[in-house]
């Protein structure tokens, strides 16, 4: 069972419109209202691909009740820690045609010390039977990075691989605690490490203690940087059009699947993460991947990094 | 007690942001989630001004539960008819600075015949003790205009004044049923009557059977057209900046207050409706009016319509 933690889940509302015109009134159909947040997206992808999962999250207020109802309806095993503040919403407005997506993302309310302790316990309790722990997404206001580090260390001490996909000080804390895999995008990597250069940023996280850093590069694929082996960049030879929301989460889901089964090669890791990511772009909602991911995996091209093109 | 019917209520979400940029991600604070829809806005204005009200509406799903919870918290007497489909949402994105407001307005799901019958009963039951009936806002998909006409006729037959603020065929049906006051804006008037000319459109509704047509003209104030007396236009001598959402509803609330007390003069009606409308523009959320409405009422200028300026 792959255990996912979503410290700052959301009720995701999605609307499709012709074109978003600031200042105007847009008549829209009521779109889907789904449980969201990166860890839940990871759990959804794994669940729909037939892998056993357990999603740990917080839930508060009417929006939290809707998140829990959606997880139940989706059949995703979960434990929702009740909290006092309402679960936040995200609102995605997707334009027909080119799929331009405008997002309003509410910040999550702070958790009390007691709520944080219960969230920690909700992760600890099933951890002994987990094959991988995934901690994904933003943190509520005031959430101490040390608590993420403590979860990473606890999982590592049991020999259970840990993936962390977050940003800022918590990303650094997860690296220092020895996370098996970190998955920042290029902007998050630069922001957390202060290194403008991609390679320098990845190296900084490896130096702190991370084993592998997978940097998602959007249309340009992914870079896998390792502490003990050569680096590799993966990309599809063509650009896919669609909805990039949740593409990174699908890549994390693929990595979790492989780490849960043992120590994957860099090539296997990149091929799976890149193809699941790309297969997510082809689907309208976060947490789903297209059945074509197997065909896409064959298309993934792997290059040493830096290769001749990337040398100055 | 003033009775309001909101056939198509909404959960209104409001976000304040710097500037809405299509294609971008915007971090926002969780804003207010309030009971909305024109009839509820009218009830809220009257309630906050100290007039007894009763708001009749439908409510379904988690969003309907949030609408009812907000009405309870606001202390607005209400009867929510339970329906199967979730209550719709509206999402308002208000930009700091000039207050540019972008609206996403979900269409409401159709009601079953049984649900419509229960909504009708929820209006009929308190009607004998009402001093005025206000039917306000859009109709759910497939709602027969004849049912609005039947409510108007039922109220008229008891000598209870009726105000209808809706659009399309239901506006025409309300006129034909002898509504005391209709409150379209200029675009709704043109769309419903097929008359591009303001005066011709208002005259068409009077010819159908309405007693008074109050046409809201935005910054240019209001026109009051009567079947049996001279027409008058009212305006403030200055333009107020703010949030126009709910301004028309505040005008309807003022008209309901006066109709509930007897047959107002055109001057009293216009002065109250224009000043409450303007006072709503000064407030951040629909359903509230500024305390300055008394000062604004003194500023309202009344002109015969058409006056010399408006003659060709």
What pLDDT digit, counting tens, does each position of A202-222 carry? 999 999 999 999 999 988 899
Which residues does chain B have within 8 Å of residue A69's beta carbon, measured at their own beta carbons? Answer: 62
Distance CA B166, CA A11 (A): 32
Query: Does the distance separating the beta carbons of A65 and B30 come in below 8 Å?
Result: no
Residue B310's pLDDT is what? Answer: 53
Query: Does the distance separating the beta carbons of A26 and B102 come in below 8 Å?
Result: yes
Nearby residues of A129 by Cβ (< 8 Å), 6 or more positions away: A1
* Terminal-residue alpha carbon distance, chain B: 45
For A3-34, write each residue's pLDDT tens digit: 999 999 999 999 999 999 999 999 999 888 99
Query: Does the distance separating the beta carbons of B107 and A29 come in below 8 Å?
Result: yes
For A230-249, write each residue's pLDDT tens digit: 999 999 988 888 778 889 99
For B220-263, write each residue's pLDDT tens digit: 899 999 988 899 999 998 888 877 888 999 999 999 999 999 98
CA distance, residue A38 to nearest chain B CA (Å):
15
Of all residues in chain A, the one with the smallest CA distance to B243 is A23
Nearby residues of A293 by Cβ (< 8 Å), 6 or more positions away: A275, A276, A278, A279
Q: List chain B residues with pLDDT less than 70.
A: 308-312
Residue B191 forms contact with A (CB below 8 Å):
no
Residue B245 forms contact with A (CB below 8 Å):
no
Q: Average pLDDT over chain A, rounded to whole?
A: 94
Residue A269's pLDDT is what? Answer: 96
How much is the ipTM here? 0.86
Residue B311's pLDDT is what? Answer: 44
Residue B100's pLDDT is what? Answer: 86
Which residues does chain B have within 8 Å of residue A21's beta carbon, measured at their own beta carbons? Answer: 102
Residue B97 forms contact with A (CB below 8 Å):
no
Dihedral sign from CA coordinates of A155, A158, A160, A161 = positive
Domains of chain A by range and CATH? 2-8+37-88+111-310 (3.40.1190.20)
DSSP conformational letter for B185: B
Which residues does chain B have within 8 Å of residue A27's beta carbon, measured at their own beta carbons? Answer: 105, 107
Interface of A with B in 13-52 (CB under 8 A): 13, 15, 17, 20-30
Residue B66 forms contact with A (CB below 8 Å):
yes
Residue A157 forms contact with B (CB below 8 Å):
no
Cβ atoms within 10 Å of B295's Cβ, excluding its own: 11
Residue B284's pLDDT is what? Answer: 82
Q: List chain A residues with pLDDT less than 70.
A: 308-312
């Amino acid at each position: 069972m792959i255990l996912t933690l979503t410290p700052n889940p959301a009720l995701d509302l999605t609307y499709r419109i012709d074109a978003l015109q600031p200042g105007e009134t847009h008549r829209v159909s009521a779109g889907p209202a789904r449980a969201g947040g990166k860890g839940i997206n990871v759990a959804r992808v794994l669940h729909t691909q037939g892998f056993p999962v357990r999603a740990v999250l917080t839930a508060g207020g009417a929006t939290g009740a809707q998140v829990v109802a959606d997880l139940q309806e989706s059949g995703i095993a979960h434990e929702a820690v009740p909290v006092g503040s309402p679960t936040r919403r995200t609102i995605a407005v997707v334009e027909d045609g080119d799929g331009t997506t405008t997002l309003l993302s509410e910040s999550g309310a702070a958790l009390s010390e007691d709520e944080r302790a219960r969230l920690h316990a909700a992760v600890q309790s099933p951890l002994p039977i987990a094959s991988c722990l995934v901690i994904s997404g933003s943190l509520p206001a005031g959430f101490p990075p040390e608590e993420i580090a403590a979860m990473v260390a606890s999982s590592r001490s049991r020999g259970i691989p840990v993936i962390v996909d977050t940003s800022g000080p918590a990303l650094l804390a997860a690296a220092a605690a020895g996370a098996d895999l970190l998955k920042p995008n290029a902007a998050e990597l630069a922001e957390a490490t202060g290194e403008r250069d991609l390679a320098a940023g990845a190296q900084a996280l490896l130096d702190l203690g991370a084993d592998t850093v997978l940097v998602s590069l959007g249309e340009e694929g992914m870079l896998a940087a390792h502490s003990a082996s050569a680096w590799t960049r993966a990309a599809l030879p063509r650009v896919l059009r669609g909805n990039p929301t949740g593409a990174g989460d699908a890549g994390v889901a693929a990595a979790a699947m492989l780490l849960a089964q043992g120590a994957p090669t860099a090539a296997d890791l990149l091929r799976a993460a890149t193809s699941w990511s790309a297969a997510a772009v082809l689907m309208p909602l976060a947490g789903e991947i297209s059945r074509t991911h197997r065909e896409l995996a064959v298309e993934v091209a792997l290059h040493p990094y830096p290769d001749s093109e990337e040398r100055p």
